[in-house]
Amino acid sequence: MMKAKLKLASFALLASVMVFTGCGSPGTNSNTSNAGQPSQGAAEKTESKQVTQLTFSEPVRVLSFAPLYVAIEKGYLKEEGFDAKIVSGGGGAQVSATLISGQAQFGVAAPQAALKSMGVGKETTVIQSINSSLTYDIVLSNKYLEKKGLDPTKPLSLKEKVEALKGATMATDNIGDSGDVFMRYLMELYGQNPDDLKVVKLAGRGPKIGAMKEGVIDGGINSAPFSLEASDKNVGAQWIKTMDVPEYSNMTWELIFTMKDYAEKNEDQIVKVVRAIGKGIEFTRENPEEAASLIAKKYFDGTDEKLIQEGLKQLNGTFVGHGEMTQEAWENAVKPMVEYSDLTGLPKEVDTTPGKFWTNKYIEEAFKN
C-alpha cells in the first residue's frame, strides 16, 4: 500500500502552537455566546453566584459541534452551574495546546487532536463523542465536474466516485489533519493511489469555495454546512458524504475531552458537563429546526438559517444517544491515523481498550436515572 510522501513534523507543530493562548492566536472566533478570554488553569468560580466558568476550545466552527452550542443556548450548562465560553480557531493542534497549557478545560475536536498529546507525554481522557460517524463532505467544483464529465445527481458506486478524485487538487484545513488523512485513506480503501490526489492547505469553508470558483482547486473536504454553501453559491456539489462510506459510518468522531489529571480531580464536574452536552445531543437530534434557529446567528452569522437546518438534518443520524462510545468505533477512527502516522504524529499502535484514554463512566453516571 502506497503512502503519501508528505511529512509533517507534528511534534514541532504542537510545540509551536503551545506558545499561543486560546484567544490570542490568529483565526480565533469570538462571535460565540459567552465567548471571551479563557480561564487560566483550573476552572474559576464566581463566588457571588457560585457559577463555575469553563472554557471549551474548538479548532473551527462547524455543525458537527452543534450539540455543544445548543447546550449553551438552551441553558443546559447553566443549569449545571457553568458559565461556558468557547474559543475557536487554529486547528486541532491549537486545541491540544490550550488544554496542555491550562488555557481551556475541555477540547472539542476530532480524535486526532484528542490523541495528539500522546506525542509529548501528556494524557487526555475522552469523555463523550458528539458524532458516531465521520461527518465530512467531499465537494467537487462545478468546473471540475464539467471538465471530467461528472454528474453529481447520477447514481454511482463509491468505487467510481473515489476513482473520480484521481488527479484532483483538493483542499483541507491543514496538511496532515483529519480531512487529509481520511481522504487519502479513502483512496486506498477503493484501490486508488493516494499519491494521485494532490492535497493543499486552505483553511475554512469560505476560502475553499472562493478557490473553487476561481479554479484554483478542484474541490475540498470539510464538515457541514460546506457542501450546502458550495451548492447555494453555485460553485460546487457534494460528491462523497463520508458517513455513507461503510468504514466511516461507525466511528467516534467529534469528541469532548480533557486532561486526565483534570478529570480525576473534577469527577463531579465532568458528570455535569457530559449531562448538559448529552441533553444538547438529544435536543439537536429530535429538534433540528429549533436547534438551527438557536445557533444560526450567533455561531454561523452570514449563513442562511435554512442551510443550517438542512445541515443538521443531514447530520441527524450521527447524534446518537448521549455520546456513548464503543471500542469498535474507536478502532475505526484510529486505523487511518496510525496508517498515516508520518502525517498525524501518532504512534503505530494505539490501545483502544475502554478505560485507557476514553470512558463512558461519566455518561453512565449522568444518565443512570
CA angle at 282 for the pair 251 and 318, rounded to the nearest 5°? 25
Q: What is the pTM of this model?
A: 0.85
Kindly report the length of the chain.
369
Other residues' Cβ atoms within 10 Å of the Cβ of residue 116: 29
Bridge partners, residue 241, by sequence = 137
Tell me how far apart the alpha carbons of residues 314 and 299 are, in angstroms, rounded to a whole number.
18
Whether the CB-CB separation of 221 and 205 falls below 8 Å is answered with: no
> What is the tens place of the pLDDT at every residue in 68-86?
999 999 999 999 999 999 9
> What would the grid cell of residue 168 be?
484532483
Instruction: Match 467529534 to its residue by C-alpha cell.
Output: 254
Per the CB < 8 A criterion, the answer to whether 34 and 81 are in contact is no
- In the block, cell 489529571 appears at 261
Place of cell 502506497: 2
What sign for the dihedral angle of Cα 85, 87, 91, 93?
A: negative
The three three-digit cell numbers of residue 277, written as one number: 452536552
Give the residue from 320, 260, 220 showing the smallest Cα distance to 99.
Answer: 260
Q: Give me the residues of the chain with pLDDT under 70, please.
A: 1-49, 118-121
Angle formed at CA 121 by CA 84 and CA 322, multiple of 5 degrees: 40
The mean pLDDT value of the chain amounts to 87
Residue with cell 487532536: 113
CA 353, chain centre distance (Å)? 22
Taking alpha carbons only, the member of 347, 344, 338 closest to residue 9 is 344
The H or E element containing residue 56 is strand 51-58
pLDDT of residue 119: 57
Q: Are strands 236-241 and 136-141 parallel, antiparallel or unpaired?
A: antiparallel
Report in angstroms the alpha-carbon separations of 74 from 3, 262, 269, 277. 45, 26, 19, 10
3-class secondary structure for 352-363? CCCCCCECCHHH
Which residue is listed with cell 429530535? 286
